[in-house]
Amino acid sequence: MSSADGTGEQLAFIRETVRRAKPRAARGVVLAERRPVARVLVDKGVLSLDQYFDYAVPEAMSEDAQPGVRVRVRFGGRVGAHGRREGGALHDGFVVERRDDSDYAGPLAPLARVLSPERVLTPKLLRLCRAVADRYAGTLADVLQLAVPPRHAGAEGEPSPRPLPPPSAPAPGSWERYAHGPGFLASLAGGHAPRAVWTALPGPEWPAEIARAVAATLAGGRGALVVLPDGRAVARVDAALRALLGEGRHAVLAAEAGPQERYRRWLSVSRGSVHAAVGTRAAVFAPVRDLGLVVVWSDGDSSHGDPNAPYPHVREVALLRAAEEGAAVLLGGVSMTVEAAQLLRSGWARPLAATRETVRQVAPRVRTVTEHDQARDGAARAARLPSVAWETAREALTRGPVLVQVPRRGYAPRLACGRCRETARCRACGGPLESPAADSALVCAWCGTEERDWHCAECGSFRLRASVVGVRRTAEELGKAFPSVPVRTSGRDAVLATVPGTPALVLATPGAEPVAEGPGYAAALLLDGWALLNRPDLRAGEETVRRWLTAAALVRPAGEGGTVVVVAEAAARPVQALVRWDPAGHAGVELDEREELRFPPVSRMASVTGSPRAVADLLGLLRLPAGADVLGPVPVAAFGAGGAREDGAERALVRVAPGQGAALAAALKAAQIARLALRGAETVRIRVDPTDIG
């Protein structure tokens, strides 16, 4: 053996000996006898610190400092001459592992405190959060803030009840309306993991159908998780589960319960007291034991996208989790997203839908009129409704409530030229003009400048028209047209869950439509359809179909007189999808177009938004996989406090081929770390697979 070889072996032996040497702690700390090192995830959320750190475990904390518990540690500072940690602030963290040795050869700082012996970070939850962080180019600490609710000592001190035995498998019930519905339930009850995209029929049965799918999963000895877009949907599924299974088999995880009560319910899931959880966005991380089914209702709803970094989407987290834990998947809704259509086309999931004959039996009649149609009487003109819509509402009000969907809240947010329909814009900044009240001057929505002498820059006309009439303005006008009928409104300021089944006009913005008691609405009017269709967004058509179908699904079947009137161009593809009640067909055509354009979900994409300098710095440091391309950067509108326009921001879109999403996320994360280290901390917002691409 040569001298060089011997030196190499010696160095390797020394490195291994140092690495395996018994860990040292600061002077005065008695180390735990067994596994004296705790590997800790420090809750700092800094990209460059997205790693684990080793701490010494004092003997007094050894019993409680187990993997999964919350701890306090001192982070930062330095080790002084006597081996004591000097400086550094206290931070929360999670113990992820107990070890016999450490990769760090110096003295380890001790754990400052074990906050609770409750093991809230299970190995499965840790793996899921790591996968989500990697997919979205974020940090594990940021994802854990979304996944694990804040601690409440009072809730932890309360014992959770003993779990109930599995229920009996439910009868198919209304699932028999779907060709493969009973077979899907039987597969769940048998402990299998079917994957389905469910096109739900219109009507009030879908909460009960979700409840039966959960019951079948519990009967098979596994757990279930249901994620819905809002508290009203959660309440409906909660009521359906109570009616089918009784009390004590599921927990509702929603913000409306309050922090302490929500944490108490979360603990009942974590401890295995209940094997089913129902909730909004954050519930997708609920630590359901032996997960057998994940249900996501209305996966196209914007509420499923988290507004906090790293901006994960419920659907993608659910799919990651189902793959990790071998669970069944049910993506359901009255509409269908392009992502769901892709899952069907790839064969990853199977369709769960009713026959066309069944759809015709339960869907309302849909009539189309254009906004150019003029009313034939004074009341209709006052309400700014085409005569067909006005007459439909008048007749339906003799039988029950009428739903009126208005795309915007408020009074009359946007105005246009009455002759050429060009948007009325501010002469100072180019922003859109609006009318805050009936007798007020026009005001710019961006800079707040009043405009008292407007004329159209395109045709010279001085005549204005309301291009999108808000809920309050529409309520005013309909109240004049139907003076003897009650008018109720539901929107962002006050969302109604239900309304009586008696005659009334119910005005709602998209997503805020209340459920009508009894057989449902007698009719629905979908106003200003062009305002939805003409939005400058890749998903404008898909989102319009979802909003229309969601409202129309609340209307009685055509055989019971239910009618929907949509005010939009009849030849538009989303309008035809509504008329035929064919969300799957519309999603398939949209997917074809995305394939031609190489846009998500066919490709993987990320948006990078910030100042021009920051965006340029990040793009310069980005090492993309082969075949990737960058679109932009282009200027984007940013809005500060009070809605004032802030110019100067830019956005670039980075696109890669299918199968390269992980490489894209890793490259973005590495470039962000390098940029922060070299250039400072100027903010750049990175969103992987953004749902809104204007």
**Cα–Cα–Cα angle for 245, 251, 255, rounded to 5 degrees:** 140
- Measured distance CA(197)–CA(300) in Å, rounded: 13
Backbone angles phi, psi at 467, to 5 degrees: -80, -35
Integer Cα distance of 190 and 221 in angstroms? 9
CA–CA separation, 138 vs 134, rounded Å? Answer: 6
506-537 burial, b at 16+ Cβ within 10 Å, e below that, comes to: bbbbbbbbbebeebbbbbbbbbbbbbbbebee
Residue 524 one-letter amino acid: A
Structure tokens belonging to residue 553: 């699904």
- The answer to whether residues 76 and 90 touch, using CB atoms and an 8 Å cutoff, is no
Q: Binding residue per annotation — 129?
A: no
Contact 329, 318 (CB under 8 A): yes
Contacts of 607 (CB under 8 A, 6+ apart): 651, 652, 653, 654, 685, 686, 687, 690, 693
Q: CA 426 to CA 450: how far, in whole Å?
A: 8
Question: Is 417 known as a binding-site position?
Answer: yes
289/269 Cα distance (integer angstroms): 8
402-405 vs 523-526, strand pairing mode: parallel
Q: Judge if the upstream peptide bond of residue 633 is cis by omega within 30 degrees of 0.
A: yes
Q: Which residues pair with 408 in a beta bridge?
A: none
Tell me the pairing of strands 223-227 and 291-297.
parallel
Contacts of 124-133 with C-beta under 8 Å, sequence gap 24+, read: 124/287, 124/324, 124/325, 125/285, 125/287, 126/96, 127/324, 128/285, 128/317, 128/320, 128/321, 128/324, 129/285, 131/320, 131/324, 132/310, 132/312, 132/317, 132/320, 133/50, 133/310
Lookup: tokens for 592: 């074809």
Binding residues for Zn(2+): 417, 420, 426, 429, 444, 447, 456, 459
Binding residues: 417, 420, 426, 429, 444, 447, 456, 459
